[in-house]
């Protein structure tokens, strides 16, 4: 990792240490190419000066030497063309070297994060923030839309410069020469941007492999992955996989670049050559015929070079304008999809205040995600107001999907959900969602303070510390909060100064506190998806003792695979094949000896003879 605030000499030493990562071939080629690129302008100056001296010879009393003039002109043109030809090779070599060096640095970072650093070190705040910086720095972030705009503005300077040069050629040499200069510049420029546009398309085409490499690099340098990588012995495999996928991606990228860039480059170089040569010859001829003085020659020569050079790459704008807008285009596409989706979704406007008074009914609900398989298929279910309903079913049965429909994150394809007889689609969705307090299985662990993690259950209570602590107490999270060095103000992430991370069960209590705060602030339907999955047995028992007291009078839905959780509900519904196949209370379902009894007995057996499956 680069030391922060390294001095210039330290930075030079660091670059010297990184140079070998480029590999001997690219390194030698880059040194040679850059030496030549550095010498060519000197050659150009010398040969154009020789040419000028020869042109001025008659004025100095010497006879004009046409052969020497032509040789100097030829060498000057050659030096100029060579400079132009070298530019893209310099850029390509630079890219190869940057990729190789970054690749080696990323592998070093992965190894350091996954294999070398002790876990205790990986949990230190300063180390985590340094690791975050290193990952971001190696992220090869594309230019942003803002950079595209700034880059586009710099084109004003480029085009003004061209216009000035063309006008000067028109005045000093001839209008036709000015047209030749302008046409040469614009044709090359058009070709250059066209190639870059096709490269942009290639970049989009390779989005999948690029994302995979970025993912591998991201997880491989994330401290959270280190535990599993070490214990499973995945480090060597992971490195190989990263190298192989990187090679495949870069192979496809470079092949595409060669295909897109080579022939256009040759073609437009020839156009530049022809246009530049025509202008120089025109100038030489006019000068030889004595029609131009040194001043005019010098002005036209430099203006012609401005025009011909115009067609090449503009580092201050081209990449920015080509790639910077990708994020913006993605944003616009997303907005459009969102707008269309919102337009197709009925948006009711009935107020939801006070609902449900009687109950919520799923009536013949059929639903599938997109074109995927049908998840719920004619599901009928009643959730009486003021009572608790537990939903049981195997993995993938559709329990969470049912909650998503209830929260109006999706609408049924067929059938309806009725709240006190009103179709859910007729209610104002935001208003209805405020009536719900839902904690999903994959609830969000906000990298914010403990207080905010609770307070986001009802944003208007974010600053009400009493309310936050009361919600924490109800969820059994008070001792978690009190043990934090800054209490409610402690950031729940080690990436921040004074931050702490929580255990899975502690996080779950904080998420429950969030839901209880929402209930406290007016939500009347509490939905908990696997609320106790990460709680220890004692915490689970405590949770349910409190839960029954807290939720009395509320409409609650609990999804759980733990029968100790489920059995306490007023009603239990078993979902299978997209429908409710059984419902009733724990005792009646056990008596009936059906699906629920089967699952219950299976779990009970797992925990030994005599166990009632409570865990």
Ligand X SMILES: Nc1ncnc2c1ncn2[C@@H]1O[C@H](COP(=O)(O)OP(=O)(O)OP(=O)(O)O)[C@@H](O)[C@H]1O
Nearer to ligand X, 99 or 615 (CB): 615
**In whole angstroms, how close is the CB of 403 to ligand X at the nearest point?**
8
Residue with Cβ nearer ligand X (61 or 372): 372
**Nearer to ligand X by C-beta: 217 or 562?**
562
The one segment of 208-216, 268-276, 388-396, 465-473 that binds ligand X by CB under 6 A: 388-396
Question: CB of residue 578 vs ligand X: minimum separation in angstroms?
Answer: 9
CB of 399 to ligand X, least distance (A): 4
Per CB under 6 A, which region of 26-34, 103-111, 368-376, 603-611 contacts ligand X? 368-376
Tell me which H or E stretch contains 422. strand 422-423
Choose between 136 and 442: whose C-beta lies nearer to ligand X: 442
Which 85-114 residues touch ligand X, going by CB under 6 A?
none
For ligand X, the closer of residues 368 and 505 by Cβ is 368
Contacts 24+ apart (CB under 8 A), 540-545: 540/564, 540/565, 542/476, 543/475, 543/476, 543/512, 544/568
Give CA–CA dist 395/559, Å, rounded: 11
Tokens of 441: 């299985």
Question: Which residues inside 390-409 make contact with ligand X, applying CB under 6 A?
Answer: 393, 395-401
**Residues facing residue 391 across a β-bridge:** 559, 573
CB of 94 to ligand X, least distance (A): 43
Whether residue 313 contacts residue 158, with contact meaning beta carbons closer than 8 Å, is answered with: no
Binders of ligand X among residues 296 to 355 (CB under 6 A) are: none
Residues between 424 and 443 that touch ligand X (CB under 6 A): 441
Q: Least distance in Å: CB of 533 to ligand X?
A: 10
Beta strands in 265-393 (DSSP E): 359-368, 374-384, 388-392
Using the minimum distance from each CB to ligand X, give the nearer residue, 143 or 531. Answer: 531
Note whether 532 binds ligand X by CB under 6 A. no
Considering the complex, state which of residue 9 and residue 395 has its C-beta at the smaller distance from ligand X. 395
Question: CA 24, CA 29: separation in Å to the nearest integer?
Answer: 8
Contact 229, 276 (CB under 8 A): no
Rounded to a whole number of angstroms, the minimum distance from the CB of residue 348 to ligand X is 23
CA-nearest of 538, 539, 480, 545 to 514 is 480
Of 360, 375, 525, 572, which lies in the binding site for ligand X, with binding defined by CB under 6 A? 375
User: How many residues lie near ligand X (CB under 6 A)?
Assistant: 12
Render 235-264 in DSSP notation, one character per residue: HHHHHHHHHHHHHHHHHHHHHHHHHHHHHH
* Distance (Å) of CA 418 to CA 36, 145, 212, 360, 366: 78, 45, 44, 6, 14
- The least CB distance from residue 558 to ligand X, in Å, is 13
- What's the closest the beta carbon of residue 332 comes to ligand X, in angstroms? 23
Q: Specify the residue, 119 or 409, whose C-beta has the smaller distance to ligand X.
A: 409
Q: Would you say 343 or 372 has its CB closer to ligand X? A: 372
Strands (E), 69-120: none
Residue closer to ligand X (CB basis): 400 or 556: 400
Chosen residue from 159, 215, 369, 607 binding ligand X by CB under 6 A: 369
CB of 404 to ligand X, least distance (A): 7
What six digits make up the tokens of 566? 């489920």
Binding positions for ligand X, 212-251, rule CB under 6 A: none
The alpha carbon torsion through 136, 137, 140, 142 (nearest 10 deg) reads 70
Residue 549 has a CB neighbour count (10 Å cut-off) of 9
Q: Which two tokens stand for residue 285?
A: 């001829």
Q: Looking at beta carbons only, is 356 or 393 nearer to ligand X?
A: 393
What is the closest distance, in whole angstroms, from the C-beta atom of residue 30 to ligand X in the complex? 48
CB of 440 to ligand X, least distance (A): 10
Cα–Cα dist 298/263, whole Å:
34
Contact 560, 532 (CB under 8 A): yes
Any alpha helices (H) in 407-464, and if so which ranges? 429-435, 450-455
The site for ligand X (CB under 6 A) is made up of 369, 372, 375, 393, 395-401, 441
């Amino acid at each position: 990792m680069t030391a922060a605030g390294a001095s210039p000499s330290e930075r030079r030493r660091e670059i010297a240490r990184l140079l070998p990562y480029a590999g001997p071939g690219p390194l030698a080629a880059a040194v040679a190419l850059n030496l030549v690129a550095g010498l060519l302008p000197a050659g150009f100056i010398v040969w154009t000066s020789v040419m000028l001296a020869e042109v001025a010879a008659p004025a100095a009393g010497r006879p004009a030497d046409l052969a020497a003039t032509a040789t100097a002109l030829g060498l000057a043109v050659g030096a100029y063309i060579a400079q132009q030809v070298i530019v893209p090779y310099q850029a390509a070599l630079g890219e190869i070297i940057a990729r190789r060096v970054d690749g080696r640095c990323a592998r070093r970072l992965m190894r350091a994060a996954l294999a070398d650093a002790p876990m205790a070190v990986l949990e230190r705040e300063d180390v985590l923030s340094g690791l975050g910086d290193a990952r971001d720095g190696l992220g090869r972030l594309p230019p942003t839309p803002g950079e595209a705009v700034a880059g586009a503005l710099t084109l004003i300077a480029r085009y003004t410069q061209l216009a000035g040069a063309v006008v000067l050629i028109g005045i000093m040499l001839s209008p036709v020469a000015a047209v030749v200069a302008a046409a040469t510049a614009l044709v090359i420029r058009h070709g250059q941007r066209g190639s870059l546009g096709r490269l942009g398309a290639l970049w989009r085409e390779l989005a999948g492999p690029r994302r995979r490499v970025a993912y591998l690099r991201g997880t491989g340098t994330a401290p959270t992955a280190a535990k599993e990588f070490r214990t499973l012995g995945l480090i060597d495999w992971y490195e190989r996989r990263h190298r192989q996928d990187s090679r495949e991606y870069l192979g496809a990228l470079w092949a595409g670049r060669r295909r897109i860039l080579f022939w256009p480059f040759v073609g437009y170089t020839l156009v530049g050559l022809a246009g530049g040569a025509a202008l120089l010859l025109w100038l030489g001829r006019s000068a030889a015929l004595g029609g131009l003085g040194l001043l005019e020659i010098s002005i036209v020569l430099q203006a012609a070079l401005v025009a011909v050079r115009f067609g090449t790459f503009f580092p201050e704008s081209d990449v920015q304008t080509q790639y910077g807008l990708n994020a913006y285009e993605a944003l616009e596409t997303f907005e459009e999809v969102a707008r269309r989706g919102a337009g197709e979704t009925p948006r009711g406007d009935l107020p939801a205040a006070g609902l449900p008074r009687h109950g919520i009914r799923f009536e013949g609900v059929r639903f599938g995600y997109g074109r995927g398989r049908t998840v719920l298929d004619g599901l009928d279910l009643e959730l009486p107001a003021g009572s608790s309903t537990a939903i049981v079913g195997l993995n993938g049965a559709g329990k969470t999907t049912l909650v998503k429909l209830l929260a109006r994150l999706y609408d049924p394809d067929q059938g309806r959900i009725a709240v006190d007889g009103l179709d859910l689609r007729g209610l104002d969705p935001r208003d209805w969602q405020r009536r719900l307090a839902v904690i999903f299985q994959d609830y969000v662990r906000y990298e914010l303070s403990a207080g905010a993690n609770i307070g986001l259950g009802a944003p208007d209570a974010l600053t009400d510390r009493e309310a936050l602590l009361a919600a924490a107490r109800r969820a059994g999270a008070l001792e978690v909060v009190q043990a934090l060095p800054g209490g409610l103000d402690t950031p729940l992430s080690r990436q921040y100064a004074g931050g702490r991370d929580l255990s899975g069960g502690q996080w779950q209590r904080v998420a429950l506190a969030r839901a209880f705060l929402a209930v406290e602030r007016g939500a009347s339907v509490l939905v908990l998806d696997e609320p106790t999955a990460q709680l220890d047995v004692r915490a689970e028992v405590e949770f349910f003792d409190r839960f029954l007291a807290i939720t009395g009078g509320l409409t609650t839905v609990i999804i759980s695979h733990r029968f100790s959780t489920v059995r306490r509900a007023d009603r239990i519904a078993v979902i299978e094949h997209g429908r409710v196949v059984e419902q009733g209370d724990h005792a009646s379902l056990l008596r009936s000896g059906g699906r629920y009894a089967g699952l219950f007995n299976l779990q009970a057996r797992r925990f030994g003879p005599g166990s009632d499956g409570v865990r």
